[in-house]
Structure 1
Amino acid sequence: MSLTVRAAAKINLLLGVGAPRPDGFHTLVTVYQAVSLYDDLTVSPGDDGLDIATDVASYIDASHVPGPGLNIVDRAAAALAAHHGRPVTGSIRVDKTIPIAGGLAGGSADGAAALLALDRLHVLGTHDDDLLALAAGLGSDVPFALVGGTALGEGHGEVVTALDDRGSWWWVVVPHPEGMSTPAVYRRFDELRPDAPEVPGPPEDVVAALTSGDVPRLAAALHNDLEQAACDLRPDLAQLIVEGVDAGALRGLVSGSGPTCVFLCESGEHARRVAGVLRGASPERVVLVAHGPVAGAHVVADG
């Protein structure tokens, strides 16, 4: 028996960041959307421990894949084992198309897929609430990777509430071969925004745009509090955003803490045109087209 679980990348339509708290973390208010860039995780029975192999798309540097014991898949298996008080083993293959260290939560997608796949493989019957709690223990984006769609994220982003999304949204996604340090981006944010509020304001404009399904309205509402810090550390990101808008995108912004930039377009055809211009300007550049919202982690093959 084997089964395959698919999990999607996420982008942040809004990322509001509060001032640093005494524990060093920041209170976040974010609106997530799952988009059609996927990692597939296939599990089959194994007698002893975990055997994890990872295959990556041609545009992903395989050297960036975490080594044995350091993968979020290992931690997901350990969390399930501790929760149920029994070993959780298996042979696991991860097929990655979500860029690594790009602000698209590819690692979180793998963690969510591993929780669901190993739960199903071992017939553990973990309650949905418990899966979400285990996911939160793996990382702040992992609960959303389980839920998918479009959702409000609060706390560190791990408290997830589904939103009414009546649109079909098309994105051009431009990852960068050189990752960024998320802690460094937050440190620069703290330096640039010493007056940041303790708790970010509510995402009213983005929520209203999603409910309306109006693409230009959503373009006007997109916002990322970390964008200034990311672009200050990497000025090439600001230039890329200008280039994408000049190519015809309605709006461009840094995804999460970067360095991936995403560009909202009117339609699939429009997104493909913008992608073509960006590729033509720099043939070595990776340019992807995706749509959202899409489902969270789910079984796509069982047998």
Structure 2
Amino acid sequence: MSLARAFADRVHARAPGKINVSLDVGPRKDDGYHDLVSVFLAVSLYEDVVVSHSDGFSARITGDIDVAGVPVDETNLAVRAARLVVEEAGWNGGVHLDIHKRVPVAGGMGGGSADAAAALVAVDDLLHAGLGAPRLHRLAARLGADVPFALHGGAAVGVGRGDELTPALTGGRFDWALVSHPQGLSTPAVYREFDRLREGDDAAACGSTAAGDTAVLQALRAGDPRALAAAVFNGLQPAALSLRPDLGAVLVDGVERGALAGIVSGSGPTLAFLAGGESDARALAASLVTAGHDARHVHGPVHGAHIVSRAG
């Protein structure tokens, strides 16, 4: 073990946001949850977490985005993640977290889950806990459905609540233009609207598409953005658009500006526009910015939560 590793007292970790390139949602169960089948793609929009020793548990939030509503107490998912690792390691101290956010808050891209995943690996490293991937995955699953994927990254199929993961093969890079919105969408509210639509006259719009999942996986494996564009699907999209009809016009605008396809990411309101390649995605993002949207280029798949640096 190097001296730098042995005496590091600050650890910086990073984890990616995600796009649900396919999301099938089953009916609501007796426990209030829905069975999901989702194909996740980790993309190059990252959350950074720096952890250091402390007497208790605390967090400071900064960001390239508006972070005014992000909690810094025990309701913060990253703080909960840090506490879980400390308890699992049998450590008698605390941890302070400096969290820098880039993934839109309440945007359907799993930003809070990425914070938690980064905190898991950072605190494990800080304490030399050596918990290992299986134990960290179990802790991630306790924190939320998207946390295990943020931990692992790449591309994967998630079932159950989305936390039972099977890696998916990818044959190349996929480039996207993301459009975020200052007004987030509540995930529980979107699921309530999903249930309302499914029980009413719009049930067909909220159906499942197992064949679509297969087509998505084939397109990812082939590295074919045009095939992926023909297969992307989000069962929550009708509910998100019902709550935010303005998003529908932006989806149309993105396709008219050259996107191969546009989709609501997760529960929204972030919109993901697939492009034919990097230059196309950059041009599309610039065009959307010119039209007044908050847009940026990202690509995937990228690695999951990982250590960036250590400082003594």
Q: TM-score surpassing 0.5?
A: yes
Give the alignment's TM-score, normalised by structure 1.
Answer: 0.94
The aligned counterpart of 2:215 is 205
- How far 1:88 sits from its partner (Å)? 4.9
Matched, 1:223 2:233: yes
- C-alpha contact 1:12 1:256 (8 A) present in aligned 2: yes
Relative distance call for 1:88 and 1:268 in structure 2 (3 A) is farther
The aligned counterpart of 1:162 is 167
Partners of 1:73 and 1:293 in 2: how far apart? 23
Partners of 1:247 and 1:121 in 2: how far apart? 46
Which residue identity does 1:231 align to in structure 2? L
| Secondary structure at 2:68 match in 1 | helix
The aligned counterpart of 2:29 is 21
Matched, 1:86 2:98: no
Q: Which residues of 2 match residues 4-83 of structure 1 at below 5 A?
A: 4-46=12-54, 48-57=55-64, 60-83=65-88
- C-alpha contact 1:78 1:88 (8 A) present in aligned 2: no
- C-alpha contact 1:6 1:299 (8 A) present in aligned 2: yes
Partners of 1:224 and 1:88 in 2: how far apart? 43
Matched, 1:262 2:272: yes
- C-alpha contact 2:57 2:83 (8 A) present in aligned 1: no
- C-alpha contact 1:18 1:200 (8 A) present in aligned 2: no
Q: Kindly provide the CA deviation profile for residues 65-111 of structure 1, in whole angstroms up to 9, marking residues without a partner as x.
A: 11322211221122223323333522321111111110010000000
How many residues end up aligned between the 2 structures? Answer: 298
- How far 1:199 sits from its partner (Å)? 7.8
The aligned counterpart of 2:152 is 147
The aligned counterpart of 2:287 is 277
Partners of 2:155 and 2:72 in 1: how far apart? 32
Partners of 1:198 and 1:240 in 2: how far apart? 23
- How far 1:188 sits from its partner (Å)? 1.4
- C-alpha contact 2:67 2:105 (8 A) present in aligned 1: no
Partners of 2:216 and 2:207 in 1: how far apart? 21
Partners of 2:85 and 2:286 in 1: how far apart? 44
Which residue identity does 2:276 align to in structure 1? E
- C-alpha contact 1:9 1:37 (8 A) present in aligned 2: yes
The aligned counterpart of 1:297 is 305
Partners of 2:89 and 2:291 in 1: how far apart? 53
| Secondary structure at 1:253 match in 2 | strand
- C-alpha contact 2:58 2:79 (8 A) present in aligned 1: no
- C-alpha contact 1:145 1:297 (8 A) present in aligned 2: yes
- C-alpha contact 1:53 1:92 (8 A) present in aligned 2: yes
- How far 1:152 sits from its partner (Å)? 0.4
- How far 1:45 sits from its partner (Å)? 2.4
Partners of 1:180 and 1:73 in 2: how far apart? 20
The aligned counterpart of 2:142 is 137
Deviates more, 1:104-113 or 1:37-46: 37-46
Deviates more, 1:79-88 or 1:99-108: 79-88
The aligned counterpart of 1:235 is 245
Relative distance call for 1:87 and 1:73 in structure 2 (3 A) is farther
Give the alignment's TM-score, normalised by structure 2.
Answer: 0.92
Partners of 2:272 and 2:194 in 1: how far apart? 20
C-alpha RMSD of the superposition: 1.6
Which residue identity does 1:56 align to in structure 2? G
- How far 1:225 sits from its partner (Å)? 0.4
Matched, 1:105 2:110: yes
| Secondary structure at 2:228 match in 1 | helix
| Secondary structure at 1:16 match in 2 | strand
1:287 to 289, 295, 298: 295
Partners of 1:108 and 1:98 in 2: how far apart? 10
Deviates more, 1:90-99 or 1:28-37: 90-99
Unpaired runs of at least 5, structure 1: none
- C-alpha contact 2:58 2:72 (8 A) present in aligned 1: no
